[in-house]
Amino acid sequence: MTAKYSATLPNASDKPRRSGMARPTRVESPAGKRPDWLKTRLQLNENFFDLRELVHQSGLHTVCESAACPNIGECWGRRSLTFMILGNICTRSCGFCDVATGKPGSVDFDEPRRVAEALAKLNLNYAVITSVDRDDLADGGAFIWAETLRAIHRVQPDLQIEVLTPDFKGDLDCVATVIEARPAVFAHNVETVPRLHKLVRPQAAWDRSLSVLQHARSMGAVTKTGIMLGLGEEDSEVIEAMHAIAETGVEILNLGQYMRPSLNHLPVERWVHPDTFAYLKEEGMKFGFVHIEAGPLVRSSYRADEQAIKAAKARQAQQDVAL
């Protein structure tokens, strides 16, 4: 299986850059200063430092650090984190993302074992794994995704794993490879509304992301996706997007506020008030989602275990009513 992976190590001319640097957007955000409801205080406790030491000693990466997530203090403080596999250099240059863009190194075939062992030390019931995009690989890294899931299942058969995957350039066989390795939840984020998709995710496609989610659902997976607000979308566009997503069978939806990692990334066009998130959640639930998590600080991996529990309870309640 190793022969198909022939990615080379980056050289000096392939120095990674922060992904938002692909486009000239060094302007102040039209939305102005961050409002009070988005201000958080980084809380550092013993759990935070224990997790940081575990991650670094294992030679692993987390999206928490690589993408500069604003919730890292809270999540690591409750011993919750999201491992990022297949390296920490992405082949894509999305305008919102703080993960470095460049030419990735060779595939680390020992990574699945190390991820499984690190999770075993955390003694969790639920964990999330994501990855960079690996368009340099024939299968987009699907084999490593599956190997990681299988390694975790061998060490901790009762641990539920949520995967947050790339679109694998629309290759549904790659999606099937991941699903067959039995994740508890299959997540793939559409990130924004169709009108803004080319600006926000220039190397992706709205319809392609929907096909990935629909295929995962057709294979029996519990599916999940997310949209960032504040990139210039209208509320009516969000409602239309939620309707289209629901038609693919997605059960869990996240709505959160986009927060600009740096002046080199896309600007924030508006700060979305919590009341607007509540309104959009109410409208979205009319389309048949099992659960919608909506709020300024909501992220796909944020309290994902609680989201899954809420969705399971709602699903059971729906089934009880049907009976």
pLDDT in tens, 158-206: 999 999 999 999 999 999 999 999 999 999 999 999 999 999 999 999 9
Q: What is the pLDDT of residue 52?
A: 62
> Please, what is the average pLDDT of the chain?
83
Q: What is the pLDDT of residue 175?
A: 98
Q: What is the mean pLDDT of residues 284-298?
A: 94
Residue of 242, 197, 185, 228 lying closest to 69 (CA atoms): 228
Q: What is the pLDDT of residue 48?
A: 61
Q: What is the DSSP letter of 191?
A: B
HSE of 254 in the Cβ direction (CA atoms, 13 Å)? 26
Tokens encoding 166 = 């790339």
- Look up the pTM and report it: 0.84
pLDDT band at 1 (very low <50, low <70, confident <90, very high): very low
Is residue 137 one of the residues assigned to a domain?
A: yes
Looking up residue 257, the CATH number of its domain turns out to be: 3.20.20.70
Q: What is the pLDDT of residue 147?
A: 98
The CB density around residue 275, as the number of other CB atoms within 10 Å, is 8
Give CA–CA dist 298/271, Å, rounded: 14
Tokens encoding 40 = 């958080």
Answer whether residue 82 shows pLDDT above 80: no
Is residue 222 one of the residues assigned to a domain?
A: yes
Amino acid, single-letter form, for residue 279: Y
Is residue 28 one of the residues assigned to a domain?
A: no
Angle at 304 between CA 161 and CA 108, to 5 degrees: 45
Is residue 22 one of the residues assigned to a domain?
A: no
What does residue 292 show for φ and ψ, rounded to 5 degrees? Answer: -125, 125
HSE of 257 in the Cβ direction (CA atoms, 13 Å)? 24
Q: What is the pLDDT of residue 320?
A: 78
The rounded Cα 2 to chain-centroid distance in angstroms is: 27
Answer whether residue 221 shows pLDDT above 90: yes
Q: Which domain range does residue 227 map to? A: 43-322
Answer whether residue 270 shows pLDDT above 80: yes
Angle between helices 172-179 and 142-155 in degrees, nearest 10:
10
Answer whether residue 51 shows pLDDT above 70: no
Is residue 47 one of the residues assigned to a domain?
A: yes
Answer whether residue 5 shows pLDDT above 90: no
Q: What is the pLDDT of residue 318?
A: 76
Give CA–CA dist 189/63, Å, rounded: 14
Tokens encoding 174 = 């790659």
Question: Sheet harboring 82-85: ordered strands across?
Answer: 82-85, 126-131, 160-164, 185-187, 223-229, 252-257, 291-294
Tokens encoding 258 = 């986009």
Contacts of 10 (CB under 8 A, 6+ apart): 16, 89, 102, 103, 104, 105
Tokens encoding 282 = 């109410």
Choose between 112 and 30: higher pLDDT. Answer: 112
Answer whether residue 24 shows pLDDT above 60: no
pLDDT band at 83 (very low <50, low <70, confident <90, very high): confident
Q: What is the pLDDT of residue 68?
A: 52
Q: What is the pLDDT of residue 112?
A: 95
Q: What is the mean pLDDT of residues 56-65?
A: 56
Choose between 140 and 16: higher pLDDT. Answer: 140
Is residue 217 one of the residues assigned to a domain?
A: yes
CB 245 within 8 A of CB 190: yes
Q: What is the DSSP letter of 17?
A: E
| Among 82-86, 163-167, 201-205, 241-245, the least confident range | 82-86
CB 140 within 8 A of CB 147: no
pLDDT band at 150 (very low <50, low <70, confident <90, very high): very high
pLDDT band at 272 (very low <50, low <70, confident <90, very high): very high
Give me Rg for the CA atoms of the chain. 19
C-alpha dihedral over 201, 206, 212, 215, to 10 degrees?
170
Is residue 18 one of the residues assigned to a domain?
A: no
Q: Which residues of 180-189 are buried (b: 16+ CB within 10 A; e: fewer)?
A: ebebbbbbbb
How many domains does one find in the chain?
1
Is residue 285 one of the residues assigned to a domain?
A: yes
